[in-house]
Structure 1
Amino acid sequence: MQTETAPAQTAPPRRQLTDVRGFWRVLLAVIAPLPMLAQGLYYLLLPWAADASFPQRVQDTTGHLNLVGSLQWIETPFLVGLIPATFAVAWVARRGAPRLATAGALLALLGDLAGFPLIPNNDRLTYLTATNSFDVDAMSALSGAEDNYLLGQLGGLLFIIGVTIGLLLLGLALWRSKAAPAWMGWALAIGGFTHPFVSGIVPGYVAQGLGLWVAAVGFAGASYALLRMRNDAFDLPPAPAG
């Protein structure tokens, strides 16, 4: 008596997943230097003195409405792109200098995430006061109250720590990882660490703007590494869960 064997069951073919590692790698490379380039230009074009009072800033803005209006857009890449740019440096340096990259990323990203929502944007308040004919004394009082608000001060402190210490560590991590030329890592370390202090050496915003452009060179080190990197070195390939 013969018995029939059941046909072997074959697993259905798995759908091929799209590999988007190249997209993310190139996107991060493009974004990395833009925030500091934009913010450096913003500082260089500001039409008022660094120590100008709020009423004086409104007066200077009134005489340069088109310029200050354009600066609101020029600053946007900094506000939107600094977090992914910071991530790009950390991602590039993490394998060659894991502890430095981790410490720098934690401080820098904490500063970004605390500073952007908590620090009052008095430059924008100045522009809105000038363009909407708001009462200058009332808006000046509002600006002062925001400056003295504890959460805003805490956000400012964390942001300064992120820019100085966080970017210093990330620059050292980029240098130590050898993922980019050494001078690019040092540019990031120096450009970030000196940012709050250069205005005391060179009055006005010029030194701060140029310092951020130095930091932008350091961020471009991440772009250099990402564009030379193979997708397999950037991340694992796509794979279904399970």
Structure 2
Amino acid sequence: MSTTAPNTGKSGKPGNTGNTGKTAKTERKPRDVRGFWRVLLAVIAPVPILLQGIVYLISPVGGNAPFDETVAAVAAHQGRFELMQWLQVPWFLLIPASFAVAWVTRRRVPRLSTVGAIVTMGGLGAGLFLLGGPVTPEYLTVHEGLDPDTMEKVRSAMDNLPIFAVGSLLFILAITVGLLLQGIALARSRVAPVWMGIALAVGGFTHPFMPGHVAAGIGLVVTAVGFAGASIALLRTPNDAFDLPPEGLARQAS
């Protein structure tokens, strides 16, 4: 009875064909992008509120000015109002900016950070969704040559809608109470200089009470300095403290 010898391959060991290195499937390591997210949040944090502060500073008329006065200001400074509209485009980034503050304070003052983030991001989301954008009826009146009396009625009708009232209330709560709580959380957490947390708290809380658009703009610039405290904390934070590594890297480390 004949027998067949096992295939030993080049190495002389049973089952080894010498092609293991070519056929073995190498597992790709997941890319670690924690540094990207950390730096991105750091860059975003002060930008939207700073640009809004500049809008207030360069505006030739107050936000609460009568309709006809605002229309006259737009007619006299139409190019400036177009610039103001573009400066307000990044305003939606105020939500991730608020998230950046919550993220750097969440471990040291978790409850305060959570409440502040909910009030701020919830109110901002409602305001951005329910309220009008940077293109106002006053601007459209001048830009499109529309009838001022008709557009004034449109403005009054919009302002009297209940949904606008709800959006305005939630937005004001976000800017005053929400940023106040987030500023206190930033100061108490000490992940950034305490005075930067105070700047965030005071700048947001006092914004609706500022006498005139120039003072309000200065207050928002102060608020932006407070948001920059989150930027400092994020840039100081190692990736391992910022977030858990990707799942594949975590398995390999264990």
Q: Does residue 231 in structure 1 map to residue 244 in structure 2? A: no
Which is worse superposed, 223-232 or 52-61? 52-61
TM-aligned CA deviation for residue 45 of structure 1: 1.0
- Name the structure 2 match of 1:207: 215
1:122-166 deviation per Cα after TM superposition (whole angstroms, max 9, x unaligned): 762221221110111111111111101001110100011111111
Q: Deviations over 1:187-233 (max 9, x none)?
A: 101001111112xxx3x201111111111111000000011111111
- Structure 2 residue 165 is matched with structure 1 residue 153: yes
Could you tell me the TM-score, scaled by structure 1's length?
0.90
Counterpart in 2 of 1:129? 141
Q: Does structure 1 conserve the Cα–Cα contact (< 8 Å) formed by 2:85 and 2:134? A: no
Opposite residue 169 of structure 2, the aligned amino acid is L
User: Match for 2:166: what amino acid?
Assistant: L
Specify whether residues 144 and 122 from structure 1 end up closer, same or farther in structure 2 by C-alpha distance, changes over 3 A only. Answer: farther
**Match of 2:124?**
112
Aligned residue for 1:85, secondary structure, equals helix
Give the Å deviation of 1:50: 4.2
Give me the CA root mean square deviation: 2.5
Measure the CA separation in 1 of the matches of 2:199 and 2:66: 33
Partner of 2:19: none
- Is the contact made by 2:61 and 2:213 (CA closer than 8 Å) also made in structure 1? no
Instruction: Name the amino acid aligned to 1:14.
Output: E
Contact 1:55 1:137 in 2 (8 A): no
Deviation at 1:24, TM superposition (A): 0.6
Describe the SS at the equivalent of 1:195.
helix
1:88 to 100, 105, 117: 100
* Aligned equivalent of 1:193, options 205, 213, 230: 205
Shift of 1:174: 0.7
Asked if structure 1 preserves the Cα contact closer than 8 Å seen for 2:88 and 2:134, the reply is: no
- Give the structure 2 partner of residue 167 of structure 1: 179
1:27 aligns with 2:35: no
Aligned partner of 1:72 in structure 2 is 85
Q: Which residue of 1 aligns with 2:110?
A: 98
Instruction: Output the CA distance in 2 between the equivalents of 1:50 and 1:233.
Output: 43
Secondary structure of the equivalent of 1:155?
A: helix
Structure 1 distance, partners of 2:65, 2:193, is 40
Structure 1 residue 80 displacement after superposition: 2.2
Deviates more, 1:127-136 or 1:219-228: 127-136
5+ long unaligned stretches in structure 2: 1-5, 7-13, 16-23
**Displacement of 1:23:** 0.6
The percent of aligned pairs where both chains have the same amino acid is: 52
- Structure 1: which 5+ runs fail to align? none
Partner residue of 2:53?
Answer: 40
Q: Assess if the C-alpha contact under 8 Å between 2:137 and 2:154 holds in 1.
A: no
Deviation at 1:56, TM superposition (A): 1.7
Look at both structures and tell me which one has the larger radius of gyration over its CA atoms.
2
2:149 is the counterpart of 1:141: no
